[in-house]
């Protein structure tokens, strides 16, 4: 089962729609906790994207600065995939700052 991070956008006269979505394996949870993005990812349902973008950016910086964090991951997970996921989430949060976060 994957963790799914979505941004739901709603224009004034339109139905809600998925503005952004990405998913990743749950094997990254220890890494998310270590770099300080766990709450921004897993405990953000109903919040605005702009409310978590700073925490996600900080997590990206932590991963870029310390490659040894990759040793925390199980053999099925890769540091590059973690960085890719967080960069996509950050880009989505900046682009769709007023969107509502939905996680699964």
Residue 11 has pLDDT above 90, yes or no: no
pLDDT range class, residue 1, cuts 50, 70, 90? confident
In whole angstroms, give the CA distance from residue 47 to residue 77. Answer: 28
pLDDT above 90 (res 13): no
28: its two tokens = 């990254």
Cα 97 to Cα 104: distance, rounded to the nearest angstrom = 20
Both tokens of residue 51? 């409310």
Segment 20-79, tens digit of pLDDT: 999 999 999 999 999 999 999 999 999 999 999 999 999 999 999 999 999 999 999 999
pTM, to two decimals:
0.95
């Amino acid at each position: 089962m994957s963790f799914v991070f979505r941004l739901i956008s709603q224009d004034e006269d339109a139905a809600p729609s998925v503005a952004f979505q990405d998913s990743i394996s749950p094997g990254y949870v220890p890494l998310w906790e270590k770099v300080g993005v766990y709450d921004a990812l897993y405990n953000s349902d109903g919040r605005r994207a702009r409310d978590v973008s700073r925490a996600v950016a900080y997590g990206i910086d932590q991963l870029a600065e310390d490659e040894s964090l990759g040793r925390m991951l199980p053999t099925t997970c890769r540091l590059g995939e973690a960085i890719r996921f967080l960069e996509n989430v950050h880009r989505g949060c900046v682009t769709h700052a007023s969107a509502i976060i939905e996680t699964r």
